[in-house]
A and B are shown apart, each in its own frame.
Chain A
Amino acid sequence: MKIKVVTNILEANDRIAAENRKVFDDAGVFVINLMSGPGAGKTSLLETTIKDLKGRLKIGVIEGDIAGTDDAQRIDSLGAPVVQINTGGGCHLDANMITEVMNDLPLKDLDLLIIENVGNLVCPAEFNVGEHMKAMLLSIAEGHDKPLKYPLMFQKSSALILNKIDLLPYTNADLEKIRKDSLSLNPKLMIFEVSCRTGEGTGEWTKWLQSLVK
Chain B
Amino acid sequence: MHEVSIAQGLLEIAIDNCKKQGYKNIDSIKVKIGKASGIVSDSLLFAFEALKTGTIAEKANLNIEQIPVSGFCDICNKNFTVDEAYVIACPICGGSSFKVETGRELNIDEIEVSW
Contact = CB atoms under 8 A, between A and B. Distances in A.
A156 to B, nearest CB: 10
B108 A152 contact: no
A214 interface: no
Interface range for A: 20 to 34
A127 interface: yes
A4 B108 CA distance: 9
A111 to B, nearest CB: 31
A8 B106 CA distance: 6
A123 interface: yes
B88 A5 contact: no
B60 interface: no
Interface residues of B, number: 32
A10 B2 CA distance: 11
Contacts of B6: 9-10
A200 B36 CA distance: 35
A123 B2 contact: yes
A173 interface: no
A5 B111 CA distance: 7
B85 interface: yes
Contact of A1 (B38, B89, B106, B114): B114
Contact of B9 (A12, A91, A120, A122): A12
Interface in A130-179: 148, 151-152, 155
A9 to B, nearest CB: 5
17 contacts: A4-B110, A6-B109, A7-B107, A9-B6, A9-B9, A9-B10, A10-B9, A10-B106, A12-B9, A12-B13, A91-B1, A122-B1, A123-B1, A123-B38, A151-B85, A152-B36, A152-B37
Given A126-B37, A152-B36, 20 more contacts: A2-B113, A3-B110, A3-B111, A3-B112, A5-B13, A5-B17, A5-B109, A6-B107, A6-B108, A7-B108, A9-B31, A12-B12, A12-B13, A91-B2, A92-B5, A122-B38, A148-B84, A148-B88, A184-B89, A185-B86
Interface of A: 1-13, 90-92, 94, 120, 122-123, 125-127, 148, 151-152, 155, 181, 184-185
